[in-house]
């Protein structure tokens, strides 16, 4: 029946339905019986396809099922009392490591984070006791005790870490199989990290931010970050967030620039950018402008070029362009594409002025009327990408001038 239906669908140009019949794993099940007119048995032929393929079919599934149903009716004919219908379903998968999918945080990343805590002697529970800390995340009454004297994990932990704190090592939690921090779900692991830097647990803002920096250094390569969600009593509360691939590439490049310039303040601006692009586009746009400003000031300072404290961003970029000769006049006119090169470089320098204007229109730092509508995260990513393009080119040019690896014709 399936083979005949596939041939019919192919002949009628319904290639996708025919391919489903050829490749799916079929199973038939009696799913109903109608007593009317002598009785009709209802059969459902389940066509099991890979989960990824099932998702990609989307709304087309119903159309494909209808096409297959119609061919079944033609094959069976009106003489049969049985009725056949097709249903496309995802095929069940057997996989030993399905919990460690691409979206999961790998074990080696978790170990690196915990090793960093060990090296710095970080008290993971902060200023509260360990039972109270873990109760913020886990239902300790439902977790078993390793000590027969106690009925659950709460009593067990209290006995060996509060009543007798030297019974277990300070880092016992990282490897305790009951909590599965090394190989369990990512959301539990991220929740544990967020609670570690929660203002109630770690009220020292600078200490919390230093821990977040260490954590994010390890999480970013695997597509995660701790991002500020809100403030509690003036201190940040963090949540876990997956990073978008494109935005992450820009942020990574910006970090390389900040490292090359040894600019600590730029690193803080980049951290703010990373946290704000999706959550607060206005803040991201304003920060993109500030990032360019910090880059200009850092390079001008390194090159001993004075600038006034009240210099605007266009003033700073103009001074930087002049110092670095970002728009070289020495390109010979006969060189192929000379004018195009000049235009690209001039526009790159002008880009900072556009950022300042965009920040004035949509960024932070200005009051709005009630009808004001902000931009979307994609616009913020455009501003960030533009800012990174400028600081990347300016920094590479600065380094090339320093090393003498690039010859500049006098203008």
pLDDT digits (tens, 9 = 90+) for 345-362: 566 656 656 666 665 665
In 3-state terms, what secondary structure has residue 60? helix
- The pLDDT tens digits for 46-57 are 999 988 788 878
The gap from C-alpha 169 to its chain's centroid, in whole angstroms, comes to: 34
State the average pLDDT over residues 253-282: 66
- Specify the DSSP class assigned to residue 181: T
Query: Could you give the CA distance from residue 102 to residue 62 in angstroms, rounded to a whole number?
Result: 30
- CA nearest neighbour of 284 among 313, 310, 254: 254
Question: What number of CA atoms fall less than 13 Å from residue 410's CA on the CB side?
Answer: 0
Query: Could you give the CA distance from residue 197 to residue 392 in angstroms, rounded to a whole number?
Result: 32
- The pLDDT tens digits for 71-120 are 998 888 777 778 889 999 998 877 655 555 445 788 999 999 999 999 99
More confident residue, 301 or 376: 301
Token duo for residue 142: 């439902």
Please give the pLDDT value at position 9: 92
Please give the pLDDT value at position 372: 43
- Within 8 A by CB and 6+ apart from 58, the residues are none
Query: Could you give the CA distance from residue 253 to residue 256 in angstroms, rounded to a whole number?
Result: 5
Token duo for residue 145: 């005790």
- Within 8 A by CB and 6+ apart from 147, the residues are 155, 156, 159, 160
Location of structure tokens 């501003």: 383
State the average pLDDT over residues 368-386: 65
Query: Could you give the CA distance from residue 110 to residue 171 in angstroms, rounded to a whole number?
Result: 14
| Domain segments of the chain as ranges | 2-90, 107-243, 265-365+374-403
> With 50 as the cut, is the pLDDT of residue 37 above it?
yes
> With 50 as the cut, is the pLDDT of residue 371 above it?
no
The torsion angles phi and psi of 120, rounded to 5 degrees, stand at: -90, 5
Token duo for residue 375: 């931009």
Query: Could you give the CA distance from residue 208 to residue 309 in angstroms, rounded to a whole number?
Result: 32
> With 70 as the cut, is the pLDDT of residue 257 above it?
no
Q: Do the Cβ atoms of 273 and 248 come closer than 8 Å?
A: no
- The pLDDT tens digits for 201-244 are 999 988 998 999 899 889 887 888 888 877 888 888 998 887 75
Cα Rg of the chain (Å, integer): 31
Please give the pLDDT value at position 126: 95
- Specify the DSSP class assigned to residue 363: S
Token duo for residue 76: 């069976």
Residue 407: count of CB within 10 angstroms of its CB:
7
Alpha-carbon distance values, 123 to 110, 116, 201 (Å): 17, 12, 10
Q: What is the pTM of this model?
A: 0.48
- The pLDDT tens digits for 119-172 are 999 999 999 999 999 999 999 999 999 988 999 999 999 999 989 988 999 999
Alpha-carbon distance values, 402 to 328, 329, 398, 399, 409 (Å): 17, 19, 6, 5, 15
């Amino acid at each position: 029946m399936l083979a005949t239906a596939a041939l019919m669908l192919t002949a009628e140009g319904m290639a996708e339905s025919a391919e489903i019949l050829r490749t799916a794993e079929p199973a038939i099940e009696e799913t109903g019986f109608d007593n009317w007119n002598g009785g009709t048995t209802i059969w459902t032929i389940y066509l099991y396809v890979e989960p990824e393929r099932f998702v990609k079919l989307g709304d087309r599934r119903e159309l494909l099922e209808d096409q297959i149903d119609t061919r079944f009716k033609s094959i069976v004919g009106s003489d049969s009392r049985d009725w056949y219908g097709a249903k496309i379903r995802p095929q069940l998968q057997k996989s030993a490591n399905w919990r460690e999918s691409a979206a999961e945080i790998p074990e080696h990343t978790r170990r690196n984070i915990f090793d960093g805590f060990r090296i710095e002697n970080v008290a993971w529970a902060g200023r509260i006791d360990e039972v109270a800390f873990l109760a913020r995340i886990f239902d300790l009454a439902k977790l078993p005790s390793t000590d027969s004297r106690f009925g659950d994990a709460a009593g067990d932990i209290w006995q060996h870490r509060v009543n007798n704190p030297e019974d277990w090592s300070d880092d016992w939690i990282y490897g305790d199989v009951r909590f599965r921090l090394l190989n369990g779900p990512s959301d539990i692991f991220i929740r544990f990290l967020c609670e570690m830097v929660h203002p109630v647990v770690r009220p020292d803002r600078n200490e919390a931010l230093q821990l977040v920096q260490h954590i994010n250094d390890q999480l970013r390569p695997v597509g995660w970050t701790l991002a500020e969600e809100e403030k509690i009593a003036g201190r940040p509360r963090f949540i876990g967030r997956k990073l978008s691939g494109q935005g992450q590439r820009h942020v990574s490049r910006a970090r390389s620039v900040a490292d090359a310039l040894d600019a600590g303040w730029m690193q803080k601006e980049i951290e703010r950018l990373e946290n704000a692009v999706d959550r607060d586009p206005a803040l991201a746009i304003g920060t993109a402008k500030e990032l360019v400003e910090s880059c200009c000031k850092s390079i001008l300072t390194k090159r001993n070029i004075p600038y006034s404290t009240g210099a605007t961003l266009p003033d700073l970029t103009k001074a930087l362009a002049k110092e670095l000769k970002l728009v070289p006049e020495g390109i010979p006119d006969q060189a192929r594409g000379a004018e195009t090169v000049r235009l690209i470089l001039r526009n790159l320098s002008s880009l900072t002025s556009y950022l300042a204007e965009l920040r004035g229109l949509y960024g932070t730092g200005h009051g709005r009327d009630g009808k004001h509508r902000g931009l979307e995260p994609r616009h913020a990513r455009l501003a960030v990408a533009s800012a990174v393009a400028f600081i990347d080119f300016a920094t590479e040019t600065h380094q090339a001038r320093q090393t003498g690896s690039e010859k500049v014709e006098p203008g």
